[in-house]
Amino acid sequence: MLPYLDFLIRNHSKKMAGCLNRSLGNMTTEPPPDLSPQAVLERQIHFYFMEVGVPVVCAFGLVGNLLNLLVLTKEKIHRSLTKMEKSAHLGLIGLAVSDFMFCLLALLFTLMPSQSNYTEQNAILYYEWLGSSLITVFIITSTWLIVVMAGERYLAVCHPFKARKIISLKKTKITIFLVYMLCMIFSIPLFFENILKKTKCVDNTVLYEITARKEYGRDMIALRRMIWALLFDFIPCAALLYFNACLIYKIHRAKKLRKQMVNGHDGNRCRFNSTTTSVTTPTSDPDLYSTVSSKTRSRLIKPKRKQSDNALNSVTATLVAVVVLFLILVSPSEVLKFIYTKVTNETHGKNYTLLMIKHVTNFMQALNFSVNFVLYCAVNKSFRKTLKNIFCFCDHHSTHYHRSHNDVKLGNMVPLFKNNVS
């Protein structure tokens, strides 16, 4: 995965001319902009996708990921979840934090004014220098969190007995922490690729410029990008494709078996009803009584088991949807960025076609980190229910209060001990 500095291409056609222009009273002129049809189209696509689309999507992602954190945290606290469900919720919470940080930093990066030179050391200068590397940290963190969650769900669905021994809340917390730490460690070289260059002009004005570090030659950067692409592009994509294919196959097979069982149950219902009797009072036969009790207990347990199965299926469907969205929106972007880097290193001048493709795929990548809220609402029923309860709590409380107040006012009070009223 390439640095976010490559992800966000800025339009520098109106930048400062530097010390020479300042010392000569801006007498020198910049070369005229390229007015070819491809260049004009590239600028238009850059404007709509990068300068308008990305900020809007990231602003929506800030709100959506905050709601994700609110709903997922509330579900984890107030719902009686199984160990597998709690583990999946922890992963989704960690993903929401990483996506929120990406949206926040990317929004700031796109909204801050861009300059080629700065006259003072301010926050905008330092964020222009280091912000792209910070954003990259959360891009790769979200990527590997999705891989970890898909791997856990693969174990839970395809190897349930092994999953009971491997998956635990403590191990999940440690894994999420390690993902964050390792992604930060692997991103450290990005912070040293550029330096601040201080230049003193003829009129004693000091200019600060962000330039590439000389020690980082083209061969070293190419090697780093090859390793980067392997660790954060191709290996995660291959793992997600495998995990998702297995999960989709298991879900399809489970639905098919469930349908066959339902059809078989309906066909044998009449025969089953004709050979069973209804027992309404305890019997003196202890064996028969224990049998009736066990049947009664099994009937009471079945709804709970069905509810747990539905919850696990909902979590699995949510994670499958997250992986599919990632493979559609992020994987093409990263592959094209890798190709783009190889092509631009071998050719001279701008390739406007590749730039236009990059603008569109960059927007797709930003979209991936911003729309999980919509995805959860569309796929996860319990998420929708919890979200509705959060926003409807005040209305529900107010309605309940007015209803109780009207009952008291009209004298329609219900006795507390209805059986004791003669």
Tell me the per-residue pLDDT of 325-382, one tens digit each, with 9 for 90 and over.
999 988 777 777 677 666 665 555 577 877 888 888 889 989 999 999 999 999 988 8
Residue 381 pLDDT = 87
Instruction: With beta carbons less than 8 A apart as the criterion, state whether 100 and 139 touch.
Output: no
Summarize the confidence of residues 293-301 as an average pLDDT: 45
Residue 422 pLDDT = 37
Residue 209 pLDDT = 86
Element of type H or E holding 37: helix 37-45
When pLDDT is cut at 50, 70 and 90, the band that residue 260 belongs to is confident
Residue 300 pLDDT = 44
Summarize the confidence of residues 180-189 as an average pLDDT: 94
**CA–CA distance, 358 with 9 (Å, rounded to integer):** 9
When pLDDT is cut at 50, 70 and 90, the band that residue 218 belongs to is confident
pLDDT of 421 above 50: no
Percent of the residues in the chain that have a pLDDT greater than 90, as a whole number: 30
When pLDDT is cut at 50, 70 and 90, the band that residue 95 belongs to is very high
When pLDDT is cut at 50, 70 and 90, the band that residue 252 belongs to is confident
Summarize the confidence of residues 295-300 as an average pLDDT: 46
Tell me the per-residue pLDDT of 147-156, one tens digit each, with 9 for 90 and over.
999 999 999 9
pLDDT of 116 above 70: yes
Percent of the residues in the chain that have a pLDDT greater than 70, as a whole number: 69
**CA–CA distance, 60 with 72 (Å, rounded to integer):** 18
Tell me the per-residue pLDDT of 301-333, one tens digit each, with 9 for 90 and over.
444 444 445 555 678 888 899 999 999 988 777
**Which of 179-188, 250-259, 285-294, 324-333 shows the lowest per-residue confidence on average (mean pLDDT)?**
285-294
**Which of 20-34, 103-117, 132-146, 276-290 shows the lowest per-residue confidence on average (mean pLDDT)?**
276-290
DSSP 8-state assignment for residue 233: I
When pLDDT is cut at 50, 70 and 90, the band that residue 390 belongs to is confident
Q: Which residue has the higher pLDDT, 292 or 349?
A: 349
Amino acid (1-letter code) at residue 397: H
Residue 301 pLDDT = 43
Average pLDDT value over all residues in the chain? 76
**CA–CA distance, 96 with 214 (Å, rounded to integer):** 38
pLDDT of 237 above 80: yes
Q: Can you tell me which residue has the tokens 């190419």?
A: 222
Q: Which residue has the higher pLDDT, 1 or 288?
A: 1
Q: What burial letters (b/e) apply to 171-182, b meaning 16+ CB within 10 Å?
A: ebeebbeebbee
Tell me the per-residue pLDDT of 10-57, one tens digit each, with 9 for 90 and over.
433 334 445 655 444 444 445 556 678 888 898 999 999 999 999 999
Query: Does this model's pTM top 0.85?
Result: no
How many residues are there in the chain? Answer: 422
**CA–CA distance, 97 with 330 (Å, rounded to integer):** 18
